[in-house]
Copies of this chain bind each other. A is one copy, B any other.
Amino acid sequence: MNFQKRKNIILNILEERGEVTVKELADELAISEITVRRDLTVLTADGLVYRTHGGIMKVELTKTPFHFANKAAINVEEKDNICRLAAKEIQEGDIIFMDCGSTVFRLCQFIRNKKIHVITNSLPVVYELMNSSVKINLVGGEIDPERQAVHGRIAEEHIGRYKADRAFIGVDGISVKNGLSAFSEIEAGITLAMFANSAISYLLCDASKVGKDKYFQFAPLNALDVMITNKKTDDTEEIEKAGIRVLTF
C-alpha cells in the first residue's frame, strides 16, 4: 500500500463522511497513526483537506457562510489609527482608489471633508461618502452580495479607464518572499487593476497580516509603494528593508 493509493482511499472516505479521525483512518487502512498523520500533512499542504485536531474535515464544511462575516466590527481602534495616517497622505484635489476591504472602509470618516475624487468598488464606502464633499465614482459590473462590492472583468476594465494619484487597498497576507496574498482570487483582480492605474500604491493592514501568506498569491511585494500598519515588528522591518516605505504610529 503506497501513498498514492492511501491518498485516494482517504479522500473517498472523507467525501463520504465529511470528517474522519486519525484513529479511524489508521484502523481502516491498517497502518499506524503516525503514517496517517504524515499523509494528512501532505493532503493539507495541497489544500485537499482541512486539518483539525485529531482528524480532518472537508474544506467546504469549514467555509463560514458569508452572512456571518462582518469584519468591520473587529479591531476598530487599530484600523482607525492606520486610516488616520493614511488620510494624512491625501492631498486636496487627489483622485484615489479605495477597495472593498474592512480596513479601507474606515478611511471614509477621515476624508469626508476633503475635496477629492474617490473611485471605489465598495458599496459601504459609497454610502459612507455619499453626502460629503467627496466626489464618488462607482466601479460598474457584477455585484457580489457577500462582499457588498463590485467585481469581475467589467469592473477591472472600468478601473483601467482612470488614472489616480493614490490607491488604498487591503490584503489578507503580505510577505517579502511571496508578496501580496488573499483568501480568494476574486478581489485580487480589483487590487491589481487599482495598483496598475495609480501613481502611489498604499497597503492598509494590521501587523497580524504581515509576514503571512494566504491561499492566493497575486502580486510581488514591489507592486506596493507604501505600507501603513499599526506596529513595527521583525516582519515589517524586513519589508522596509526590501524597499517599501513603512508607516506606523
User: A: which residues have CB within 8 A of B?
Assistant: 2-5, 7-8, 11, 15, 19, 44-50, 52-55, 57, 59, 61-62, 64-74, 123, 126-127, 130-131, 135-143, 145, 148, 150, 154-155, 158, 161
Are A59 and B54 interface neighbours, CB within 8 A? Answer: no
Q: Please give, as numbers and ranges, the residues of chain B lying within 8 Å of A74 by CB-CB distance.
A: 44-47
- The dominant DSSP class at the A interface is mixed
| Chain B residues near A72 (CB-CB < 8 A) | 47
Q: Closest Cβ of chain B: how far from A189's Cβ, in Å?
A: 15
**22 A-B contacts, Cβ less than 8 Å apart?**
A2-B52, A4-B50, A4-B61, A7-B64, A15-B68, A44-B74, A47-B70, A47-B74, A48-B64, A48-B68, A48-B70, A59-B68, A61-B70, A65-B127, A123-B123, A136-B143, A138-B142, A138-B143, A138-B150, A140-B140, A140-B141, A140-B154
User: In the docked arrangement, what's the CA distance between A169 and B66, Å?
Assistant: 25
Instruction: Give every chain B residue within 8 A of A66 (Cβ-Cβ).
Output: 127
Are B67 and A47 interface neighbours, CB within 8 A? no
CB–CB B69/A47 < 8 A: yes
